[in-house]
A = this chain, B = another copy of it.
Amino acid sequence: MRRFIVIGHKAATAADFKLDDLAGGAGRLDVLLRCINSAFFLSHDIRRDVEVVLILQGPPGPVRTIRLVGSELRYLNPDERSTGALIRNALMRDAKGEERSTPGIYVSARSFQDVLALLDKGTELVYLREDGQDIRGVELPKDVTFVLSDHMDLSPDEEDLLLQYGPRVLTLGPMSYHADHCITIVNNELDRRSL
């Protein structure tokens, strides 16, 4: 299993945003929607061995976590608007416990701390950061979980929390990339290894 956890610091936590305004009123939800696209889409297929966990921390609160499970997903299209509609549907749920909104999409009130605590102990945690070790030189197990941030860096508190779990700190190259581009590059790197 490849897992991508992405924190959306300003991303809407209620379903009252407009699909015409995903980059504005929805708190840069567009970034997270592109992460979904990068994580799951192959040319004529969806990656079944991938899970995406979006942690929405914007207004009005409290935090909402959307989990997308590749092996169960349906109705996912590559464009931002239709994926935005799926996320908005998920945000209409109460999120007591973890609720399914559409096949493969789950919503809960879990925080970043909760999400980390619930991770399978067998997974290798990776924190993607510019000053990390080059991913191309690093062996990774099949079960690996990457932590990324939206257009903002992790806050000091979030970083402290993550570092308590002793993640590998890896980099993808000499430039600083958008989160969705990072996911595409990671997927390609891991595809090359699974042959």
Q: Give complex CA distance A31, B37 in Å.
A: 11
A81 on interface, CB distance cutoff 8 Å: yes
Chain A contact-residue range equals 35 or more
A82 on interface, CB distance cutoff 8 Å: yes
Q: Give complex CA distance A176, B187 in Å.
A: 12
Q: A20-B81, A23-B81, A23-B82 are in contact. Are A188 and B173 (CB under 8 A)?
A: yes
Instruction: Check B79 against A30 for contact (C-beta < 8 Å).
Output: yes
Q: Give complex CA distance A187, B177 in Å.
A: 10
* Interface locus among A49-57, A97-105, A178-186: A178-186
Annotate A33-73 by CB proximity to B: 1 below 8 A, 0 otherwise: 01001100111100000000000000000000000000000
Nearest Cβ in chain B — how far from A127, in angstroms? 16
A78 on interface, CB distance cutoff 8 Å: yes
A121 on interface, CB distance cutoff 8 Å: no
Nearest Cβ in chain B — how far from A182, in angstroms? 9
Q: Which 4 A-B pairs have the closest CB atoms?
A: A43-B176, A23-B79, A30-B79, A184-B184
